[in-house]
Amino acid sequence: MFLLQSIFPTLIKLPKRSSVLVQFVPIKSIAWYQTTNPKSSASKPIFLSCTSTTTRRLMQNSSRTEGGDGGPLTGTGTGERYRDPSSNPKVSRLREVIGSTDTSNGWEKSWEEGITPWDLGMPTPVVVHLVQTQAIPKGRVLVPGCGMGHDVVALAGPERYVVGLDISGTAIKKAKELSASSPNREYFSFLAEDFFNWNPSEPFDLIFDYTFFCALEPVLRSAWAKKISEILKPEGELITLIYVITDQKEGPPFNNNVSDYEEVLFPLSFKQIYIEDNELAVKPRKGVEKLVRWTRSRNESKL
């Protein structure tokens, strides 16, 4: 059996008199097509995308973008290609800036100088996909480390009010300017605040973390988990899009894996309800991202 793993739409011409077996998997909005040619005993399941036109357009744009860390491509062992963050001049410059001053001033300076290699210049494709397939909770949503706010705007709508948070005032100013004319602007807001010291007026139904955890010094990860547990509703959901990297000598981005999240979330009674490779990852991060969804019950916390 041969599996073509591609999230991009594929045109298939079925042989005459072929039979087709279709099994739908709602979460990923994909379909398995089993084709059997009567003249041959071989059967070939083919993995197809049923993503929307908008998501496909984002995927086409992301295949050309140099955002998302840049650097030369290397093998991942999964048939995909991976860009080593440390080989990107902007990442090297970012590390110099962050290391030359305290962290908050470092992030502010990086935004002032436009040293933002993580910024895709568009919403994260998998976020758009989750919204379009209605596979995401409703209610109040937080995006910490929101930067230019692309994902904030993509998540916002009549069913979700989204708060974008960033420690950089420059980032928040840019996010407000960029989204000022968005038709859904009444459903989101941006705040320049320190995630660890900020106290929202009410908890959230959903928190979405992407390139925030891996940007933090590893010593702050327990504090990150504690803050998440404090501002997330008892039955709320945490969605982490994990940029798995293990070959960096320094950061940001710092080495991190799913186990690093488990180490700080499990003691707070978070549990994984979904984990999957991110098939919609942008090209520089292809093959090294995992989408993990978590829930917790406040009265089960061990702390």
DSSP SS3 for 271: strand
Query: What pTM does this model have?
Result: 0.71
* CB atoms near residue 286 (< 10 Å): 24
Taking the C-alpha atoms of residue 121 and residue 123, their distance in angstroms, rounded to an integer, is 7
- Tens-digit pLDDT profile for residues 231-284: 999 999 999 999 898 877 876 788 989 999 999 999 999 999 999 999 999 887
Calculate the alpha carbon distances from 176 to 159, 166, 240 in Å.
21, 12, 24
Question: Residue-wise over 205-223: b if at least 16 C-beta within 10 A, else e?
Answer: bbbbbbbbbbbbeeebbee
Nearest to 285, CA basis, from 47, 57, 30, 73: 73
- Tens-digit pLDDT profile for residues 98-134: 776 666 688 888 888 877 777 888 999 999 999 999 9
Q: Which residues contact 151 (CB under 8 A, 6 or more apart)?
A: 123, 124, 127, 143, 208, 210
CA dihedral (127, 133, 136, 137) positive or negative: positive
Separation of CA 206 from chain center: 14
